[in-house]
Structure 1
């Protein structure tokens, strides 16, 4: 029995796909092991959102060679689709599979025997236009939360982004099949499903034709028995309709937590990025959410240093973010990506200036997060406890994404508990009392 190990770089969508591919191997009789347990086969699922992701791929290949110099190394994922020839020349790589091939790698690579006579790795990467099939995927490595892929690809030509080139056009499975997958997940005892994809608000396109929409999907998922929480991972502001917001506000299963990419608070930069909204619409979405769900957690993606972003435009973005009733930021520093329109936009922002702007927004994010956590103190929430245990403490999240810390108790793993939020510790987590038994969990 051959042993196979997986390493995933990038987003939760990649993690869900890696998990599904690993189950394909296990069904064929392979033994799944950890990366450092001398596997016969290494599968590395890559990201290419930033330059650092490319460098990380090369580092993981080197580590695989140290662990087992005779191991077979296959590279899949976004970087593999965008740069197959470049990856094939990395010492130690045996195969590179593109977006249309990665779910067939067990079939395509056969016995996973190294070809010592080949000067470079085998490349199986079709043009991205051929990546038209949809493969439903979900992670099962964490028995408390599962990331369920509901959509793939993207039809939005943002100037800084390579994802359409790496994953192809927007496509989805049927509502029926997604609901079926959610029921299968529920049977495994999972309490929370996080819906993920490239552009999940665009759900419903099958074979190039719209068959349904995201609102229909979440209404159907809301009826799935056994899942106590559904969480929407990220949704474009122009696709986050009032109807979706109202439905989440009235749902018992969809939690009050939205992650809404903004990318810039400057309308001029949004135009240069070819985003499909302006900041006024974004502000309307935030205000609508807070009017219906005052305690809702709202996360924001923002990019600093995009070409054309002068200091004045950055400060417009900073001031806009500061004015919004949001809970945290995910800050990305712009990096040049081949074959993107942003390469032709001037002026470029010096890397030192990009780093300083990123630092400023990280500080703002910490302030926003602290203020949000403080607003939740002295309230009662429900926590789903996770398996993550560090230093005798366990963590979990409330329905509105407040991270809490409690003394480790194995009986609490994957349990929903009503707790009273009492204070913020030095690590930035919230301390709680358990309400239903009036027991102190942490002090």
Structure 2
């Protein structure tokens, strides 16, 4: 192999960082990098699987692991026979950690959408989460740094920018004058009036500032798609998770947004089978899907992570956790199917990907006519909804 292979697992942060590593390591030969994830036990299993597959595919390459698993489960990952070395998560974008020159040219995106990691780390202490162990404390890029990276992507022809972060809505807390995320979004839109689409990755709803709310509600270039780091629909479980919002906070936020922008599509992360969750809590978790009209649901069966407070709480039987996750997925699938069916007959502007599909502003996936150029935005009249795909 000539160019390095960078394998990315997990969150959009890893996708953004993998693109930067790919550019930074462009001159390296016979190198495989696994940018790992450890947010759940399943994510860690998938990381190990990816390492073994990478070694089988590249038996003579130098295989280096970075990312959260390399930080949180460093000893076990480093002991794998397939692994030649580890790079600390905090150092993955530092050329010195890879012994390469530090003057790599700005990277052109390998995707039709540009993922820009504007924030990293987290200062909160949710009882189930190991991410602060893998990512460290919250830190932000400056507005100038974000604008420079955005300019590189736009010069390469990207038509949608996705802002990402471990705790995206905490962006700016560590910068002079502590600006809020709404100010960053406004600065990007003002600096690049030709940018057609800006999207946010997962956000903590309780931290949405007034300026950001106004942009989500009224700015057509900010996509009508809000993915909430919700985690649960029962207040007692939210308290035991050490989340900072209540069920009512989430309901109020979504109601206010939908009153101003009815087409906004809501996504959310939900955990099934958190320790001490009873049938009433599970029922509240199911009900929040319908109450918030969640059409982009990410369902996670609870997975105890070593060293977290939740791992020391009374655990539910695994079969109960799996069954409740299946209940949530089934409820979410019904809600999503109904939403997609309701889009039939509409004409949607779709950003074309390279696989013959693309994304509408509301993040619905749409099949495109054969030959549609990747990276173009085309109007598509929706004629059917089938198996989660509009066409």
Distance in structure 2 (CA, Å) of the matches to 1:241 and 1:325: 22
Q: Hey, what does 1:175 align to over in structure 2?
A: 143
Q: Hey, what does 1:306 align to over in structure 2?
A: 274
**1:114-152 alpha-carbon deviations (Å, 9 max, x no partner):** xxxxxxxxxxxxxxxxxxxxxxx988211x211111110
**1:260-312 alpha-carbon deviations (Å, 9 max, x no partner):** 12111100000000000100000001101110111111111100011111122
Q: Hey, what does 2:96 align to over in structure 1?
A: 107
Q: Hey, what does 1:65 align to over in structure 2?
A: 55
Distance in structure 2 (CA, Å) of the matches to 1:55 and 1:149: 25
Distance in structure 1 (CA, Å) of the matches to 2:389 and 2:69: 35
Deviates more, 1:370-379 or 1:167-176: 370-379
TM-score (norm 2): 0.93
Question: 8 Å contact 1:159–1:274 — kept in the other structure?
Answer: yes
Q: Hey, what does 2:361 align to over in structure 1?
A: 399
Tell which structure's C-alpha radius of gyration is larger. 1
SS state at 2:38 partner: coil
The alignment status of 1:50 with 2:31, answered yes or no, reads no
Q: Hey, what does 1:9 align to over in structure 2?
A: 9
Question: 8 Å contact 2:129–2:305 — kept in the other structure?
Answer: yes
**1:378-410 alpha-carbon deviations (Å, 9 max, x no partner):** 22321112111xxxxx21121112221133114
**Count of equivalent residues:** 385
Question: 8 Å contact 1:17–1:139 — kept in the other structure?
Answer: no
The alignment status of 1:215 with 2:204, answered yes or no, reads no
Compute the displacement of 1:49 (Å).
0.7
TM-score (norm 1): 0.82
Q: Hey, what does 1:371 align to over in structure 2?
A: 338
SS state at 2:262 partner: coil
Compute the displacement of 1:242 (Å).
4.4
SS state at 2:384 partner: strand
In the alignment, structure 1 segments of 5+ residues that lack a partner are: 32-39, 112-136, 389-393, 432-443
Question: 8 Å contact 1:46–1:80 — kept in the other structure?
Answer: yes
In the alignment, structure 2 segments of 5+ residues that lack a partner are: 101-105
SS state at 1:42 partner: strand
The alignment status of 1:41 with 2:31, answered yes or no, reads yes
Compute the displacement of 1:11 (Å).
0.9
Q: Hey, what does 2:66 align to over in structure 1?
A: 76
Distance 1:41 1:202, change over 3 A: same
Distance 1:268 1:11, change over 3 A: same
Compute the displacement of 1:110 (Å).
4.0
Q: Hey, what does 1:422 align to over in structure 2?
A: 383
Q: Hey, what does 1:258 align to over in structure 2?
A: 226
Distance in structure 1 (CA, Å) of the matches to 2:274 and 2:295: 23
Question: 8 Å contact 2:358–2:366 — kept in the other structure?
Answer: yes
Compute the displacement of 1:64 (Å).
3.0
SS state at 1:328 partner: strand
Q: Hey, what does 1:141 align to over in structure 2?
A: 110
Question: 8 Å contact 1:173–1:206 — kept in the other structure?
Answer: no
